[in-house]
Amino acid sequence: MSDEELLNRVGTGDSEAFRQLYHNTDRAVYSFILSILKNPQDAEEVMQETYLKIWTSAASYHSQGKPLAWMFTIARNLCYMKFREQKHQADMGLDDLNGEETGEVCLPLENLADAMVLKSALEILKEDERQIVLLHASAGLKHREIAADLQMPLATVLSKYNRAIKKLKQYLREE
Amino acid sequence: MEQDFDWLQLNTRQIEQHLKSAVDTLTPNILDRIDLSDPQELIPEEANHAVILRLQRRIRRIAMTAAACVCLTLIGGGAFHYHLENRKIESVIGIDVNPSIELSINRKEVVLEARALNADAENIIHDMDLKGVDLNVAVNAVVGSMVTQGYLDDLENAILVTVSNDSVRKARELRSSVVGDIERTLKENQVEAVVYDQQVIEDEEMEELAKRYGISYGKAYFLKELIDQNEALNIEDMEELSSMTMEEIARKITESSYELGELADRVKETESAAETTRAPETTASEPSAEGSSTEEETTEVSPTEAETTQAPETTKETVTEPETEEDTVEIDYVDYEDGMVYVYFADRVKWNNPSVVVRDEEGNSYAAMMDETSRNECSFEVSGLEGGKSYVFVLGGLAAKNSDVSTTVKGYFDKPEVADEADDEFKKDPDEEETDESKGEGQDASIEETEGTNAPAESLTESESTAEEKTEEQDEADDERAEGGPEDGKAESEPEDLTEQ
């Protein structure tokens, strides 16, 4: 069953469809959120909120053949809310700086090369590059799917991807 | 960062594998934490969505108002500034069907003014008070009214959405949200339409044109673009085109298979046929005139003229996967970027001693070096190219996935024309974020940096900002070409190739 059909079923309260949809999309959704937040703890939190929101508002999904794009919109909004929340806390004097502000990304990964590459990607790439790179490399989405889900022209996705990978190579070589 | 990582001379595939493995490890399993007993929102159609959005906005507005009050008590001028900001037009959204309407919005996407640009538009909005309404609600109302008044019916509709904003990024966001709103409204009303969308910047010439033909700025921009992209059209056709409705224009575009340049992205989604019937590039020995339609089709673009100084990394991978029929290699599309050419194959290939030769139309050879090869794509580095010219390349030492016989395959790309001064600027600029990187990369960065700047899209002689505008445009043009124009001059690679890859 396609994600589209699954999502429609989720809208009718089908929890099995929801589980299936979760398994089909968790990498992509997590990659997307991580690429925005750059922090695994926050990403996990937002991922949970995202899927909860997907569950509760699936009925408002209008079939457009782009279920992932819809899920990304939810995730993006929640990510931005997270930023606002953090900003608010920082304004209140807690000075709880996140990765975005300190530029440091902390990843609980044992494999050093994995950690190094992901950390570099999160630190040196711009947000759209991070999204494209993580969605393709980590979540296995095709460039075309990314283009559709992020509403970008395919060529933009391709050239951003190439540029980002080139940047990464260069950076890793020099570090 | 840790110094002992200088061994990390990774190739693309290794980088991808590390990223995959890293994210695989990190991805949490939160399924069990989702409380499926949470009540689902039962939503009668799209209303709810709008309500949620509006609610959030309202909450935000309350918060902002509170902030403004604080400012008021602290510094008298703060609130005044806040007020002014909200009254400032930040973007203009044009909607053209035949009714042409322009919605001016502030940075919070609240409509400050709704203008009817023709009599049909007057019919649509004369009894609506759109001032102070959120953009998405206004768009919904306008499009809904176009449906009820019959400007959009059940067949062959076309809508042009134009977003004008100083920031390219903001314009892009707005553009996709407005298109999303329109598509949703259409869906609700069970109407299908081709939605063209474009983002534009202010340009006197276009304003002039719009005024002269009594059409909206967006439509003028769209038509000018259409004329520029297609040799068969010239500025005299403006007269005829400007009097047509978007539906008629769309039909003409489909019938005549016109190029759409920047606007193609949208169109292909709904009308794939229109985009894919163009003839492929002829041969390299046949000099293609500047701006000719064949050239358009194969234009591989990137705004910089870069002599990449980066050390080439040659990774040779031999992939052995005997499968199915056919033993010719077909190139799906080619992408030129900053001294690198990326070639994407329609199907899997195998490599054995990859080689590449690059020549221009006169047959002069250029230094090219294979960078990476994989089963779907390869990239090579090439230097000494002049901007604004077409080049042919021949890849050797590769075979179709099911064949053991090495073959060669020819493809084409264009190096975009960029003013040399602009390029020099990039090289010299010491404030770019990645100055310690190679020149090639540095330039890349500077292009990215300029994102969001505002410059006339047409003028090629301006420096950085122009280059960026060009990137945007060309990126889009690339896409359009990637869809329809095979590079190898022998095959009609359908767009389906891409999806099924």
Question: What are the average pLDDT values for consecutive 10-residue runs of chain B, which has 501 residues?
Answer: 54 90 93 85 50 45 55 46 66 88 88 86 83 86 83 77 81 84 80 80 79 84 82 82 83 77 44 31 34 34 34 35 58 80 84 86 84 82 85 88 83 73 40 38 35 36 38 42 38 36 34
Confidence at residue B362, expressed as pLDDT on a 0 to 100 scale: 81
> A62–B46: do the CB atoms touch at under 8 Å?
yes
Cα–Cα dist A43/A48, whole Å: 9
Question: What's the pLDDT band for A6 if we cut at 50, 70, 90?
Answer: very high
Confidence at residue A103, expressed as pLDDT on a 0 to 100 scale: 55
CA atoms within 13 A on the CB side of B137: 19
- Tell me, what's the ipTM? 0.91
For the segment A121-149, the average pLDDT, to the nearest whole number, is 92
Confidence at residue A98, expressed as pLDDT on a 0 to 100 scale: 46
Question: Which domain does A97 fall in, by range?
Answer: 3-174
Contacts of B40 in chain A (CB under 8 A): 11, 13, 55-59
Q: Which pair of tokens denotes residue B256? A: 């005549």
Confidence at residue B252, expressed as pLDDT on a 0 to 100 scale: 81
> A159–B35: do the CB atoms touch at under 8 Å?
no
Chain B contact present for A62, CB below 8 A: yes
Helix (H, G, I), strand (E, B) or coil at A1: coil
Contacts of A99 in chain B (CB under 8 A): none
Question: What CATH number did the domain enclosing A35 receive?
Answer: 1.10.1740.10
> B8–A113: do the CB atoms touch at under 8 Å?
yes
Cα–Cα dist A30/A46, whole Å: 9
Helix (H, G, I), strand (E, B) or coil at B235: coil
The CA-CA-CA angle for residues A77, B61, B186, to 5°, reads 55
> B437–A170: do the CB atoms touch at under 8 Å?
yes
For the segment A5-23, the average pLDDT, to the nearest whole number, is 92
Confidence at residue B8, expressed as pLDDT on a 0 to 100 scale: 59
Cα–Cα dist B423/B421, whole Å: 5
B15, B31, B448 ranked by CB distance to A169: nearest? B15
> B444–A166: do the CB atoms touch at under 8 Å?
yes
| Nearest-CA distance A161 → chain B (Å) | 11
For the segment A71-99, the average pLDDT, to the nearest whole number, is 76
B289: left (phi over 0), alpha (psi -120 to 50) or beta: beta
Q: Which pair of tokens denotes residue A3? A: 């994600």
Residues 6+ apart with CB under 8 A from A93: none
Which among B3, B6, B19 is the top mutation candidate for probing chain A, defined by the most A β-carbons within 10 Å of its own β-carbon?
A: B19
Of all residues in chain A, the one with the smallest CA distance to B263 is: A153
Confidence at residue B476, expressed as pLDDT on a 0 to 100 scale: 41
Chain B contact present for A102, CB below 8 A: no
- What is the number of structural domains in chain A? 1
| Nearest-CA distance A83 → chain B (Å) | 14
Question: What's the pLDDT band for A47 if we cut at 50, 70, 90?
Answer: very high
Confidence at residue A22, expressed as pLDDT on a 0 to 100 scale: 95
| Nearest-CA distance A40 → chain B (Å) | 7
A27, A62, A110 ranked by CB distance to B23: nearest? A27
Yes or no: say if B159 and B152 are a contact pair by the CB < 8 Å rule: yes
Contacts of B312 in chain A (CB under 8 A): none
Q: Which pair of tokens denotes residue A122? A: 């999160």
> Greater confidence, A108 or B262?
A108
Residues 6+ apart with CB under 8 A from B27: A26, A27, A30, A31
| Nearest-CA distance A43 → chain B (Å) | 9
> A58–B40: do the CB atoms touch at under 8 Å?
yes
For the segment A31-51, the average pLDDT, to the nearest whole number, is 94
> Greater confidence, A18 or B338?
A18
* Inter-chain CB pairs, A–B, below 8 Å: 210
Place of tokens 């969505």: B49
Confidence at residue B64, expressed as pLDDT on a 0 to 100 scale: 58
| Nearest-CA distance B27 → chain A (Å) | 6
Go through chain A and tell me how many residues it has. 175
Confidence at residue B477, expressed as pLDDT on a 0 to 100 scale: 42
Contacts of B183 in chain A (CB under 8 A): 64
